[in-house]
Amino acid sequence: MKTPKIAVLTGAGVSKASGIPTYRDGADSLWNNHHPQQLATPETFAQNPKLVWEFYDWRRRNMAQARPNPAHKTLAEMEAALSHFTLVTQNIDGLHREAGSKNILYLHGDIWLVRCTECDYRSEDRRTPLPELPPRCPRCNAMLRPDIIWFGEALNPKTLYQAEQAFKKADIALVVGTSAVVYPAAYLPFFTIEKGGRVIEFNMERTALSDYASEVILGPSEETLPRWWKQFRQEMGLS
């Protein structure tokens, strides 16, 4: 039996069991009386870079304590077992990488990377807390910013193109822990549908995608995804 090509889109729901709250978690979504959506913008960074960096330094400290959960580990297992597998994530926490996934497309960037606001300097910096806020570029002394996509900024066109191609080629698209309302990421599963492939959604509740999915599996992804993968690999005869 031919092994299908699989593309996966993950969102914040995948990391919730690791202790990382989503932007939509009610009281958890406030930081020092600020909504994250108000802080994660280029406009706020231009007006008050220290405040924005204090928010991200706090997020980095929280994420540094988080560990991959069974959903992250299952996706790493899938990649190791399948010849055609692409993981596309909206998450910036780095837990997929820590779980062992390698072929990852980061739609919204990576909180552990920083880049210069003036020159082309870009580097990983996992120090928590950062010794200086805002941090400075070692090359030109300009301010560094988190290497992530803020509200109002366009996605990296190369990353988006690679994600689109993966879903266009996929026989099965797995959509895990995402509300399916943030575009263009929310449109990716429809490339698989247009090709005639199957979309399987793993979520806590139905979303805007659910009516188009071949199957909707409700419940915590750290439970539902490993269970689905165990059954799938038995059906496919994968070791």
Question: What string of pLDDT tens digits covers the 239 residues of the chain?
Answer: 578 999 999 999 999 999 997 765 544 455 666 787 889 999 999 999 999 999 999 999 999 999 999 999 999 999 999 999 999 999 999 999 999 999 999 999 999 999 999 999 999 999 999 999 999 999 999 999 999 999 999 999 999 999 999 999 999 999 999 987 788 899 999 999 999 999 999 999 999 999 999 999 999 999 999 999 999 999 988 86
- Regarding pTM above 0.85, the answer is yes
Which one is the CATH code of 21-65+110-148: 3.30.1600.10, 3.30.565.10, 1.20.1530.20, 3.40.50.2020? 3.30.1600.10
Q: For the chain, how far is it from start to end, CA to CA, in angstroms?
A: 14
The pLDDT value given to residue 201: 98
In the chain, where are the structural domains located?
A: 1-19+68-108+155-239, 21-65+110-148
The answer to whether residue 72 is catalytic is no
Task: Tell me which architecture the domain covering 1-19+68-108+155-239 has in CATH.
Answer: 3-Layer(aba) Sandwich (3.40)
- How far, in Å, CA of 26 to CA of 41, rounded? 20
Collapsing DSSP to helix, strand or coil, 131 comes out as: coil
* 180 closest CA partner among 212, 145, 224: 212
Intrachain domains 1-19+68-108+155-239 and 21-65+110-148 with the same fold: no
Residues 6+ apart with CB under 8 A from 170: 4, 5, 6, 7, 86, 191, 192, 195, 197
* Residue 121: CA count within 13 A, CB half-sphere: 18
